[in-house]
Homo-oligomer: A and B are copies of this chain.
Amino acid sequence: MNRVVLFATSNPGKLKEARSILAPYGLEVEGLDAKGTEIQADTTAEVAASSAKAAAERVGRPVLVEDAGLFVDSLRGFPGVYSAYVLKTLGVQGLLTLMTGRRGRGARFSSAVAYCEPSGEPRVFEGVVVGRIAAAPAGRNGFGFDPVFIAEGERKTFGELTTEAKSRLSHRGEAMRKFAAWYVSRAR
């Protein structure tokens, strides 16, 4: 088994979390700062699978890709797979503006981790964390919509948690651990 996993992402926050999550499995993470062109799709699984396949063909090595999204119930799943774009254009504040006057604040973070070998088919591992949108941003850790997301049963936003504490609860932690368990067991 190759203990070094090539992780294609242009997001330093994701890279940091992947390293923290995969280290206990004896896996090292090498960053590849080029995720390639993403497709428009309804689910993070479709986006991640497509990106992993394209990246593996391009670099000629097995590649890991992760795609995540915040799906807000009262906004019919918006911003969903376009979360990164919405963050860039509207920001966290734009999301809060859209929720003004709405009673339901339920939301979930969804993550899909796809692993693909060149000429192979992608294998996808998913994680979901249910929670709610905070009334105001809090915390400077994490990235993306972390400062306004509170996981079910918690009082702090993801932005207020350490990387380790967040990963224990998070969609990405769950998906990455599923991948790691499969990857490590496969090699035995």
Interfacial residues, chain A to chain B (CB-CB below 8 A): 37-41, 47, 50, 75-78, 80, 82, 85-86, 88-90, 94, 97-98, 100
Give Cα distance in the complex from A97 to B95, angstroms.
11
Kindly list chain B residues whose C-beta atoms are within 8 Å of the C-beta of A41. Answer: 37
Contact of A38 among B40, B88, B90, B100 (CB under 8 A): B40
Number of copies: 2
A43 CB to closest chain B CB (Å) equals: 13
* A-B complex: 4 closest residue pairs judged by Cβ atoms: A78-B89, A38-B40, A76-B89, A37-B39
Interface contact A78-B90, CB-CB below 8 Å: yes
Kindly list chain B residues whose C-beta atoms are within 8 Å of the C-beta of A89. Answer: 75-78, 80
A44 CB to closest chain B CB (Å) equals: 12
Contact of A40 among B37, B77, B90 (CB under 8 A): B37
Interface contact A94-B85, CB-CB below 8 Å: no
Interface contact A90-B82, CB-CB below 8 Å: no
- Most-contacted residue by chain B among A76, A82, A90, A98 (CB, 10 A): A82
Given contacts A39-B40, A40-B82, A78-B90, 16 further A-B contacts (CB under 8 A): A37-B41, A37-B50, A38-B39, A38-B40, A39-B39, A40-B40, A40-B85, A75-B90, A75-B94, A76-B88, A78-B89, A80-B85, A82-B82, A82-B85, A94-B98, A97-B98
Give Cα distance in the complex from A174 to B97, angstroms.
35
Kindly list chain B residues whose C-beta atoms are within 8 Å of the C-beta of A94. Answer: 75, 78, 98
Kindly list chain B residues whose C-beta atoms are within 8 Å of the C-beta of A47. Answer: 40
Give Cα distance in the complex from A90 to B187, angstroms.
46
Contact of A100 among B76, B86, B97 (CB under 8 A): B97
Kindly list chain B residues whose C-beta atoms are within 8 Å of the C-beta of A77. Answer: 89
Give Cα distance in the complex from A100 to B97, angstroms.
9
Kindly list chain B residues whose C-beta atoms are within 8 Å of the C-beta of A90. Answer: 75-76, 78, 98
